[in-house]
């Protein structure tokens, strides 16, 4: 199951982690966000224990969204060593996520 990243746990769970983190910035009212939700859940299962895969609800966690300049959702950030190493915006096929994960993990 995908993790839930929040303003409160983001530093410890993402920035301080030694693993690649894949963060899906989403909102309940966003159709494309809901469309990729099942893909994010599949990836969380596929990479369990190897990659941190989670979601940030932009409505509930505005600080993280502002820190990373998230203006369009869904936006997926790939973070490793506390730095953004890649980014995808908009609904994407699972293969695009897998390619990015394999490239950076």
The confidence score (pLDDT) of residue 56 equals: 97
The confidence score (pLDDT) of residue 36 equals: 96
- Please check whether the domain covering 3-104 is classified as CATH 1.10.3720.10: no
Q: At what angle do helices 94-104 and 31-46 cross, to 10 degrees?
A: 50
26-45 pLDDT, tens digit per residue, is: 999 999 999 999 999 999 99
Name the residue ranges covered by the structural domains of the chain: 3-104
Give the predicted TM-score (pTM) of the model: 0.95
Residue among 52, 1, 64, 79 at smallest CA distance from 27: 64
Mean pLDDT, all residues of the chain: 96
1-11 pLDDT, tens digit per residue, is: 999 999 999 99
**Catalytic residue positions?**
30, 33
What DSSP assignment string belongs to 43-66?
HHHHTTTTSEEEEEETTT-HHHHH
């Amino acid at each position: 199951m995908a993790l839930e990243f929040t303003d409160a746990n983001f530093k410890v769970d993402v920035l301080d982690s030694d693993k690649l983190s894949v963060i899906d910035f989403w909102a309940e009212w966003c159709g494309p966000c809901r469309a990729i939700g099942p893909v994010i859940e599949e990836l969380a299962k596929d990479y369990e224990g190897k990659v941190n895969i989670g979601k940030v609800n932009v409505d509930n966690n505005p600080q993280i969204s502002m820190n990373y300049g998230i203006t369009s959702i869904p936006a997926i950030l790939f973070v490793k060593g506390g730095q953004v190493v890649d980014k995808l915006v908009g609904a994407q096929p699972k293969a695009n996520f897998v390619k990015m994960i394999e490239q950076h993990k």
